[in-house]
Amino acid sequence: MVPNPQKHAFARNVNEKIVTFLGRVTFQKGPIYFVETAKMVLDRDPNVRFVLAGDGDMMQVVIDRVAELGISDRFHFTGFLRGTDIDKMFGMSDVYVMPSISEPFGISPLEAMQSKVPVIISKQSGVSEVLNYAIKVDFWDINAMADAIYGILHYPSLYNILSVKGQEEANNLKWEDVAKRLKIIYEKYV
């Protein structure tokens, strides 16, 4: 994949591709699935770095699991980010992953998409109901998540369509339209 020079305006300081999780490090957000997926991807392609940006009550569990899997040299923990640091993180990222177990909506995938970062989200997140240009997998399906990451990183056509169309979709998303669509979905099942 040839990186988009406009997207990577921030200094990466690494040649490897970067896959990012940004959010609270809690059970609900599924960070352990991100770690397990990272191991599977690294078994296929060791030239990838994984970044977990956030903080929470599962941080020590996640750190311990990264060490147990022997992927500490490919895994980075930034701690909690805000403001321009979030923009910088997305500016360096090649893929964003949100493996939430339960997520009422989820704003961070939209922020990633606005930054031209292809996203992989769980089908269990509310935002999956309104996005067409995101890859959607079950939070527990680390095989599918690993395949999606690998595909985005190694197939330029997939990367480009998710990057370009995803940005367009996120930029054109209006809260009024989302509310109307969610109301229709809600009424369908109530």
- The answer to whether residue 108 sits within a structural domain is yes
Vertex 23: Cα angle to 124 and 66 (nearest 5): 95
Does residue 132 sit within a domain? Answer: yes
Contact between residue 74 and residue 44 where contact means Cβ atoms under 8 Å apart: no
Which strand (E) or helix (H) includes residue 142?
helix 142-154
- Per-residue model confidence (pLDDT) at position 62: 98
Is 85 within a domain? yes
Task: Quick: pLDDT tens for 78-126.
Answer: 999 999 999 999 999 999 999 999 887 888 999 999 999 999 999 999 8
CATH of the domain at 102: 3.40.50.2000
Residue 101 is assigned to a structural domain of this protein: yes
Asked whether residue 25 carries a pLDDT value surpassing 50, the answer given is yes
Residue 164 has pLDDT above 60, yes or no: yes
For residue 24, pLDDT over 90 is answered with yes
Contact 113, 134 (CB under 8 A): yes
In a domain, 8, yes or no: no
| Residue 114 is assigned to a structural domain of this protein | yes
CB atoms within 10 A of CB 19: 26
Answer yes or no: is 166 within a domain: yes
Residue span of the structural domain in which 109 resides:
17-189
Report the percent of the chain where pLDDT is more than 70. Answer: 92
pTM of the model: 0.86
The number of folded domains in the chain is 1
> Is residue 95 included in any domain, yes or no?
yes
- Residue 9: the pLDDT is 54
Mean of pLDDT over the chain: 90
